[in-house]
Chain A
Amino acid sequence: MDKLSDEMLVAHFQGGRQDAFDVLMSRYKQKIYAYLLRSVKNYEDAEELTIEVFIKIYRALGTWEPRAKFTTWIYRIAHNLSIDHYRAKSRRTTAYLDDENSAIDEPASMDRRSNPENGVLEKDRHRIIGDAMEQLSPNQRSVFIMSRYDCLQIREIAEILGMAEGTVKIHLHRAVKKLKNILQPMWDKGEI
């Protein structure tokens, strides 16, 4: 079952094999969580949204047709949920991870085997990168995250975000340029 493609797994699920959904979940939970965490910048919210993504998928999987790749579909759901979440949050004035104290909040399930000193440095680095990404426009940020960390191709990103490929390229180009301007001086000073 593990070696089957996503689309084959969906077909198995539609044929009544529940374990196909388990495989899909274990295949994507890390990626979707990582994407959402980078988007919403809050560990608990990211976990909650990841659960919501899989519940939505489970409900829709029975009638899903392979018009697009499964990956594209699942990221699209995650992206839409993160936008809804962002809108809901912006109505309230809840503190995000932008706040320096909460920025280094460690998730309860963090890997404890790693060297704690490295962990702190990595968290600092992660926070700085997160702050830099906050300075991008929402579209630039989404495009950059999907391209850089989720290894999605331009065509897939365009499908997920409902944009033309050319627009995705422009956003990516601008995001790269902006991030370089923000992060390169920090690198030169040895701050990251």
Chain B
Amino acid sequence: MCPKKELILDSYSNRNADLDQELVVHAAECLDCKEYLDNFDQVARLTETNLLHTVDLDQIEIEVYKRLAVQGGTLANTTDTVKRRFRKYELLDLLIRLKEIVRFSWINLNTYRLLWLTVLAVALFTAGWRYLVPENDLSSSVSISKPRLETFRQEQLRQHIEEANAMHYLKNDSRTSQSILRLVKEQAQGTDLESYAGQQIQIAQRQRW
């Protein structure tokens, strides 16, 4: 078995748009790898189906909030918000049902109109009131989430550096590596990562020449 098969598998399963040039040249000469590569291409073609992507899933969100409201959320401060959202959905649901009931009922036209207008007025008033009252005091949440956001930002920058290193050392693509590192340097101003990115750019430039 050719040892380069694993590289082909890596390249394919990690969605690299272009196979490494070296691998393409190798696959042209190695029957084992050529067959392997063909298998992937053929199965990709054979298993192409887009049926699932046409399904409309609007109900999912409504159902999730409905159930959360019934069961209660775990975050103490968010249970009320979920319940409030659920009430909005519930109100809409009620209006739709009322409309259906009244349509088939024996009530004469004037009574129907009057009833419908009253329900509509109450619904509009309630919905308007709910929208006017803010759901959350965001000023307090910003101070809590700030350190977390900073942690995530640092985490993302580290991931970019890893990506840049992979580009440089594993794929010999120092140009892409440098452009990623420049972005990191720009975004990491005032932190240790800025100087680290700077050093890595210099290393990449030196090795390129």
Q: What residues make up the interface of A, taking CB atoms closer than 8 Å to B?
A: 5, 7-8, 10-12, 14-18, 22, 25-26, 29-30, 33-34, 37-38, 47, 50-51, 54-55, 58-60, 62, 66, 107, 109-111, 114, 122-123, 125-126, 129, 132, 147-149, 151, 153-154, 169, 172-173, 176-177, 179-180, 183-184, 187, 192
Q: What residues make up the interface of B, taking CB atoms closer than 8 Å to A?
A: 6, 9-10, 13-15, 39-40, 42-44, 46-47, 49-61, 63-64, 67-68, 71, 73-75, 77-78, 81-82, 85, 135-138, 140-142, 144-146, 148-149, 151-152, 155-156
Question: A29–B60 contact, CB under 8 A?
Answer: yes
What's the nearest-Cβ distance from chain B to residue A43, in Å?
A: 8
**How would you classify the secondary structure of chain B's contact residues: helix, strand, loop or mixed?**
helix
In whole angstroms, what is the CA distance A110 to B149 when docked?
39
In whole angstroms, what is the CA distance A57 to B136 when docked?
21
In whole angstroms, what is the CA distance A18 to B137 when docked?
12
- Residues of chain B within 8 A of A179, CB atoms compared: 43, 46-47
**How would you classify the secondary structure of chain A's contact residues: helix, strand, loop or mixed?**
helix
Given contacts A15-B148, A109-B57, A177-B39, whether A55 and B68 have CB atoms under 8 Å apart is yes
Q: Which of A10, A15, A147 contacts B142 (CB 8 A)?
A: A15
Question: A15–B145 contact, CB under 8 A?
Answer: yes
Given contacts A25-B60, A169-B13, whether A11 and B149 have CB atoms under 8 Å apart is yes
What's the nearest-Cβ distance from chain B to residue A168, in Å?
A: 8
In whole angstroms, what is the CA distance A60 to B74 when docked?
8
Question: A12–B156 contact, CB under 8 A?
Answer: no
- Residues of chain A within 8 A of B59, CB atoms compared: 47, 109
Question: A16–B57 contact, CB under 8 A?
Answer: no
In whole angstroms, what is the CA distance A98 to B3 when docked?
39
